[in-house]
Each structure stands twice: as C-alpha cells, then as structure tokens.
A and B are shown apart, each in its own frame.
Chain A
Amino acid sequence: MARMLSGRLPDPPAAVRRGPPWAGAFPSTLHDQRVASLLGIALGITFGTCFLTGLVSHFMQHPPNWLSWPSRPVWLYRVTQGLHVTTGLASVPLLLVKLWTVYPRLWERPPVRSVTHALERLTLVPLIAGSIFQLATGIANIAQWYRFHFFFTVTHYWVA
C-alpha cells in the first residue's frame, strides 16, 4: 500500500512536458522555502485567530442548545469581532506574498510524481481557493457590497 502511494508514476511523454516557461523564469531568491515558511507562520497566526474568532461569532449568533454565552465581560464580542475583521484584513498582504513566493511550484516537473504527491497538490486547490474566497467575500461584507447571490454568513461559515 505504502509503495503504491509513494511509487513513482511514469513521466508524461516528452511532447506534452511543460516546465517553467523558460529556463531561469523565476530568478528571485525570494521563491524560497524559508521565506515561504516564515510567511506561513505569520499567516497561521492571523488566519488562525480569524478562524477561531469567526467560530465565536457564528456560535454566538446560532448557539446550539447546550451552549449559553455569558453576558460578561460586556466587551467580549467587541474584542473577538474586532480581532476577526482585523486579522482577516492583515491576512490579505501575507497571503498574496506567500502565494507569489511559492507560485513557481505550479510549473513543477513532472506535474505529479506519485499518488501521494498528486493528493498533496490537489488538496492545495480548495485550501488556496477557500482562503482567497473568504478574504474577498469578507472584505465585500464589511464594505456592505453584496454583489454575490448567496447569503454571506451561511456561505462564509461553510467555506471556513
């Protein structure tokens, strides 16, 4: 089983092979794993805080029966929701720079090396798409710009 998952898949035929657009297409040394991981830590903190405070807000508005929110401290929701919106906004430049740092990997060759590698790459699709979606719709919501035809809070929660 393990061998099947990590066994090397055959390379695609040479005629369809596509690497980076040209040799040396990404000369910047900032396409670098150390830069990416530092940005990852920063994003982990802002996105993590944003996610947890988002859950607080969701369950405050839709409390299950077993959960009763306290009425004190009176400023609790003010702090959690302020953090939610602020960390979400701070995530925007961090996410953009992080995606720029790692985007040469899109042209990785061969595109899939093994089944696990394929799964690894596929799971990034919903992760990246979801992150961009959450930040974009969140910003539209705080600006009260409801151009999308779905109910914001429900979609925002389920995508999270």
Chain B
Amino acid sequence: MSAAPERTAGGREGNLRREGDRRREGAGGAEQDLEDQGNLGNGRDGAPPTGGLTRRGLAVATGTAAAVIVATTAGQAVPALAPLDLLAPRRPDLGPQGLPVNRTARAARVAVAARDPGYRLEVVGTRRVGYDLAQLHALPSHTVRLPITCVEGWSADATWHGPRLRDLLDAALIPVDATIRVESLEAHGGYRASEVRPAHARDPLTLLATGLNGADLELDHGYPARLIAPDRPGVLQTKWVHRVVLL
C-alpha cells in the first residue's frame, strides 16, 4: 500500500501507463482508483483527469498536421496539387520558360563562357567530332516530353528539343555499350560533369537539348546545350554542356 503513490508518480514504467499494469495495480492504491474513476465516463478515449486532449483528439491533430504538410508541399511534384503548394520551397511552374531553375548560370560562373559565339561542342570517342553553334542547330532535332526531377523534391514536365545523344555518340564512333561523361562549361563544383551509362545514353528519349517548350534554351536552363534523360536525378542532367567523352 505504501509503495503505490510512488508508482503512479512515475515508478517502474516511468509515467507511461500500460493498460495491463493499470488493471494489475487497480486494487493497489487510492490514487490509481481515483484516476480510473475519472476516466470511466469516456471509455477508451478517456479524458485525462486534468482535462485536455483525448487520444482521438491527439490522433486527429497529429494526422491533420501531417496531412496539411503533405497537401501543401506535394504540389511541387504533383501537378494537380500545385495550387495548394504553399509550404514547399518551389512552385514547379515558376521560372524562365515556365520551369524552375536551381543553379543559375551566374551561380555556376558560366554566364560569359556559355554566351561565347565561338562555343564548340566536342564529342570525343574513337573519333573526335566538333560542332559550332550553327552546326549544332543544323543537326536533326527531336522533340520529347520528359519531367525534370530535382533531388530537392520538385519536378515538372517539359517539352525538350534537340539532337539525340545516341546520334552524337554514333558520329564519334562510341560503342553502344560504353559509359560516357558529359562535361559542363563549369570550372568547379561537384556536379560539373556526370556519367551516363548505356541504358540512358542510348535511350531514344535522351537528348542534348538546345530548346525548351518551343523556344531556344535560356541561359539558366543550360544554353547552348544540356543533357535531358528519362528517369534521372536533376543534378545529373548536366547543363552548359561542351564536351562528351568516352570513358
């Protein structure tokens, strides 16, 4: 009898009350009995003796908080939820040419190099093939509809135009099972180049895009040319491409 108040004050199980313990200890102490009586009227969702949230109330509040967060952030990836996209850091339809930009040309310090009229794209395989701007735009152009998905969670569909990567690889006699590296004009940074394995390099949807949504690619989207491949993280969709090399 003397040990009972100590138990209710947070003894053996801390204050984490177990249904079973309560039943076992039910006859043990006066405090415990009082508490049980306080809960009687409300059944399993019994109100605490001091008044406050019920279990159901807590579940509803927590569930609502989680649901509101999901509903107001999922819009950065789910087009149907875009109007609700209040808490997410991105709106997938805002940005130049209707598409967000994560890293601008200025941040990547390529603004001058990318606008250089003397720009050349080099594809280096068994053969080395170079293209100036006019030659790049004269290549057979394809149009694909592909999402761009940032690792930070936003994604958006876009229409891309440009030569297929595999046609450029073929011209440089790069074997079909080869892994290649696509290099940006960026001089520094962990994501200045990316490797492309055969599954993506040879996919007919993979382009070295020079256009976006019916217009020339804007500088911040990777002008003069950028990689766009299906099912690939955005940081690996290298922008401001100037070299493609066989590994």
**CB closest chain-B residue, reference A154:** B190
- Residues of chain B within 8 A of A105, CB atoms compared: 14-16
Q: A19-B10, A25-B15, A107-B10 are known contacts. Are A142 and B231 too (CB-CB below 8 A)?
A: no
Alpha-carbon distance A144/B74, docked complex (angstroms): 17
A121 to chain B: closest CB distance in Å? 11
Q: A32-B55, A36-B16 are known contacts. Are A90 and B152 too (CB-CB below 8 A)?
A: no
Whether, in the assembled complex, A74 has its beta carbon less than 8 Å from a beta carbon of chain B, the answer is yes
Whether, in the assembled complex, A1 has its beta carbon less than 8 Å from a beta carbon of chain B, the answer is no
Provide the main secondary structure of the chain B interface.
Answer: loop
Report whether B153 and A109 are in contact in the complex, using a CB–CB cutoff of 8 Å: no
Report whether B197 and A68 are in contact in the complex, using a CB–CB cutoff of 8 Å: yes
**Which stretch of B132-140, B200-208, B218-226, B238-246 is in the interface?**
B200-208
Report whether B149 and A81 are in contact in the complex, using a CB–CB cutoff of 8 Å: yes
B binding-site residues for A, Cβ under 8 Å: 5, 8-11, 13-19, 39, 46-50, 52-53, 55, 58-59, 62, 65-66, 69-70, 73-74, 76-78, 88-89, 102, 146-147, 149-153, 155, 190, 197-200, 203, 205-206, 229-233, 235-236
Q: Can you list 16 A-B contacts with CB-CB less than 8 angstroms, sorted by A residue number? A: A23-B8, A32-B17, A38-B59, A68-B197, A71-B203, A73-B230, A74-B146, A81-B77, A81-B233, A85-B73, A89-B73, A97-B58, A97-B62, A142-B153, A143-B89, A144-B152
Alpha-carbon distance A90/B151, docked complex (angstroms): 17
Report whether A92 and B69 are in contact in the complex, using a CB–CB cutoff of 8 Å: yes
Report whether B197 and A60 are in contact in the complex, using a CB–CB cutoff of 8 Å: no
Report whether A94 and B199 are in contact in the complex, using a CB–CB cutoff of 8 Å: no
B226 to chain A: closest CB distance in Å? 17
Report whether A71 and B205 are in contact in the complex, using a CB–CB cutoff of 8 Å: yes
Report whether A20 and B48 are in contact in the complex, using a CB–CB cutoff of 8 Å: no
Q: A74-B147, A78-B155, A143-B89 are known contacts. Are A24 and B231 too (CB-CB below 8 A)?
A: no
Query: In the complex, which of the residues B48, B69, B190, B200 contacts A30, with contact meaning CB atoms closer than 8 Å?
Result: B48
Report whether A90 and B147 are in contact in the complex, using a CB–CB cutoff of 8 Å: no
B67 to chain A: closest CB distance in Å? 8
Query: In the complex, which of the residues A34, A71, A92, A141 contacts B200, with contact meaning CB atoms closer than 8 Å?
Result: A71
**CB closest chain-B residue, reference A91:** B66
A side interface size, CB within 8 A = 59
Report whether B147 and A75 are in contact in the complex, using a CB–CB cutoff of 8 Å: yes
Alpha-carbon distance A74/B229, docked complex (angstroms): 8
Report whether B15 and A104 are in contact in the complex, using a CB–CB cutoff of 8 Å: yes
B217 to chain A: closest CB distance in Å? 20
How would residues 54 to 85 of chain A score, 1 for a CB under 8 Å from any chain B CB and 0 otherwise?
00010011010000111111111110011011
- Residues of chain B within 8 A of A20, CB atoms compared: 9-10, 14-15
Alpha-carbon distance A77/B39, docked complex (angstroms): 49
- Residues of chain B within 8 A of A69, CB atoms compared: 197, 199-200, 231
**CB closest chain-A residue, reference B9:** A23
Please list the 8 inter-chain residue pairs (A to B) with the smallest Cβ-Cβ separation, ordered nearest first: A85-B153, A82-B77, A74-B230, A104-B15, A93-B65, A23-B9, A105-B14, A108-B14
